[in-house]
Every structure is written in structure tokens, then in C-alpha cells.
Amino acid sequence: MARHLITSALPYINGIKHLGNMVGSMLPADVYSRYLRQRGHEVLYICATDEHGTPAELAAKEQGVPVDAFCTEAHHQQKAIYDGFNLAFDYFGRSSSPQNHEITQEIARELKANGFIEERAIRQVYSNADGRFLPDRYIIGTCPHCGYDKARGDQCENCTRVLDPTDLIDARSAISGSSDLEVRETKHLFLLQSALAGEVEAWVDERADNWPVLASSIARKWLTEGLHDRAITRDLDWGVPVPADTWPDLAAEGKVFYVWFDAPIEYIG
């Protein structure tokens, strides 16, 4: 008997998932886990809702409800659908769980202790109309590379280029639609990806032949362009808080970790 950990891609909390989400991700994992159990293997099949990030906050704002209440209701709705299709998760959790908060903060502390996180002062977009700093996904505009007019401040979904909010042309707030924006200085935590470029490239080269062509080509494209140090904190009301025992100043400002920092950790949490 072997032990198997199986997971599906974690569905985002915003919106009810369509049948294709289940067919493409959850159903194959469910079938495989059932097969292994029938063969007598020990199986743990897990999944969860991915709940942090700006889309959840914006959706809650549109409905006029607190974001935690919005996510709780959406989690129950999604779980009811999966139960209705008889998906046999051993555990269906949430990225907003105390477990995921704890392990995300612990991994951040370990990264800092090993020299892979540093605090930097940066210039960030501030919306006068909204009275707040805008995280990158709260800013939309025209991509300077391909001209797509609905690019977000972190990445263009059309050409896949990684962006900074200040790269956008005709930038505006995703909250109010206001273009009354200015750039101010604030502090954030940065993950030093550049220090790991060699190891990441070797890891990709060793495995990418077994990946889908799109995945391997995008990974190699980013490596060719060079891995850049990226901010892993945001000015949001909803997310895993920066731990006060490690970064007291940022914690006092209400900084939370970027969703793409804590979401991959959720598979462990």
C-alpha cells in the first residue's frame, strides 16, 4: 500500500464555477483518488477555495457586504455544488483559515531568515478619489506592449507580460474609475527572485519536457527576460496579515501578503 496526496487546482472564491472547471480539474482527481482507494492505497484528496486578492474585495463591494461574509457565503455555495456532484474530497478548506495564515507567516519568516525577503521603499499609485493606495490589481489601463485596454497593474492578460502599475497608459482606479492618481512613497516586502534564478532555471530544465507546451514556454520566456524581485505585500483589508513580530511597521500599516504568495502555500496549509 502506498500513500497518495491528491489535490485539484483551487477554485477562486469569486463566482460559481461552471461545469468545465469540474471536468478539467476536480473530476479527474476525484476519479483517480477513487481508483487508488479501490486498489487499497491510502489517499488524502484535498481542495479549498482560494479567497484572498482584489477580485473578492471588489465583488463584495459591489454587493455591499463585508468581504469575509461574502467569502463565507461563496464557500458554502461552491461546496454545496461539489457535494451535489458527489466529489469525494477528504477535506475542502479555505485559504482564509487560521492554518493557512499561520503557515504563510511562518514561511515568510523563514524566507527572511535565509535572506530572500527584504523591506523596500517604493513609489506606489495613490488614488485621491478613493483615499488609499491602490494594489496593482486595483489599477487598470492600456498595456504599453500590446495595447490591450483592460490590462491590470500586475500583468496583461492579453500578452502575459508582467507589469507594474506605473507602466499602464491611461491608468484608472478599478474601484471608482477615477484617473485622479498620483505616485507616493510607501514600504513593502520583496521576494528576491533574482537570487534564485539559477536554481529555478535548472529546476525547470529538468522537468519542463513533461509539462504542457504553454506552461514550459511561458516559464522559459520569464527566465530569458530575467526573474525580477517582486513585492509580496499589498494594501488590502482582506488577506494574510504581515506578522507584527517580524515587520512591526508594515503590520501597523495593515499590509497583507499578496494572494499569489499565500495561495500556493494553501495547498500545504
Q: What is the pLDDT of residues 247-264, one digit of tens each?
A: 999 998 889 999 999 999
Residue 135 confidence (pLDDT): 81
Residue 112: pLDDT over 90 = yes
Residue 22 confidence (pLDDT): 87
Residue 18 confidence (pLDDT): 83
Rounded to 10 deg, the angle between the 197-207 and 213-225 helix axes is: 160
Residue 87 confidence (pLDDT): 94
- Give the DSSP letter string of 138-170: GEEEE-TTT--TTEESSB-TTT--B--GGG-EE
Residue 137: pLDDT over 90 = no
Which residues, in sequence order, are bridge partners of residue 12?
50
Residue 195 confidence (pLDDT): 94
Domain 3-96 is of which CATH architecture? 3-Layer(aba) Sandwich (3.40)
Cα-based angle 57, 19, 210 (whole degrees, multiple of 5): 90
Q: Any idea where the domains of the chain sit in the sequence? A: 3-96
Residue 117 DSSP class = E
Query: pLDDT confidence of 98, banded at 50, 70, 90?
Result: very high
Residue 236 confidence (pLDDT): 86
Spatial contact of 100 and 91, defined as CB atoms under 8 Å apart: no
Residue 98 burial by Cβ neighbours in a 10 Å radius (0-12, 13-18, 19+): exposed
For residues 110 and 15, which has the higher predicted lDDT (pLDDT)? 110
Residue 131 confidence (pLDDT): 86
Question: How does pLDDT run across 57-87, given as a tens digit for each residue?
Answer: 888 988 999 999 999 999 999 999 999 999 9
Residue 148: pLDDT over 90 = yes
Residue 202 confidence (pLDDT): 96
Question: How does pLDDT run across 19-52, given as a tens digit for each residue?
Answer: 888 888 899 999 999 999 999 999 999 999 999 9
Question: How does pLDDT run across 210-241, given as a tens digit for each residue?
Answer: 999 999 999 999 999 999 999 999 988 899 99
Number of neighbouring beta carbons within 10 Å of residue 146? 13
Calpha distance 117→230 (Å, rounded): 10
Percent of the chain with pLDDT over 90: 74
